[in-house]
Amino acid sequence: MNQINLTSLAVRVLLDTPAPTPSDAAYLFAQTIDNTPSVMATGLALLKSGATKRLLISGCGELSGYPGAKAYAEDLARLDVLPEQILSVPPPDAEIMHTTNESQALLRFAEQKRFTRLHIVASPLHQLRAFISSVSAVLKAKAPIALYSIAGIPLPWLDVVLHSQGKTQGSREDLVSGELERIARYRAFGDLASDDEVWSYLGRRDRGEI
């Protein structure tokens, strides 16, 4: 993996522009409890500003470090998000949930609902891989869906947190390298699009070709 290319892509993804018109939905990726406030705050901001029409959450129960749809919905309710503004995405049919099969579940749901424009929201630590995974699912399905990367709000980087299915612990700062290693490993498996493929997708999206 070319680190310079991936670094360039990371800057592009983390500083992406929001959708030019309100998105059909903003998907809040499943996070551990430690990182949940990051996506909640950004989801709320997108909703309140009119940048998106609704929020999507995984309909999975408590699993793989994710506190579950009920907990996510309760957190959003405490932020005055109305129940009708939240849709649950049917979870992957698997014993564990991870970023790849979560992205695939999101794609199936988006196609079923005929969504064409989505914001993708994960904690900053997870945002690059979450967005690449989401783009990979769209590319493999050849789906006409425009994805926009909006990272969750930053949380203290030196705090020690649980991450990656609740099995990995460390400071957010130290966990970044693990995220980059996962991207390289999953690309070797053929699960993730290359840097060039993601760049090409973003270019077509911004030219209105999706």
Domain of 30, in residue numbers: 3-206
pLDDT in tens, the chain (210 residues): 567 789 999 999 999 999 999 999 999 999 999 999 999 999 999 999 999 999 999 999 988 789 999 999 999 999 999 999 999 999 988 889 999 999 999 999 999 999 999 999 999 999 999 999 999 999 999 999 999 999 999 999 999 998 877 678 999 999 999 999 999 999 999 999 999 999 999 999 999 999
- Whether the pTM exceeds 0.85: the reply is yes
Count of domains forming the chain: 1
Distance in angstroms (rounded) separating the CA atoms of residues 109 and 28: 14
Q: What's the CATH number where 94 sits?
A: 3.40.50.620
- Please report the pLDDT score of residue 166 as a whole number: 67
Query: How is residue 51 written in tokens?
Result: 């940048």
Q: Which of 180, 30, 175, 191 lies closest to 97 in space, CA to CA?
A: 30
Give Cβ neighbours of residue 185 (< 8 Å, ≥ 6 apart). none
> 77 to each of 40, 85, 123, how far by Cα in Å?
10, 10, 20
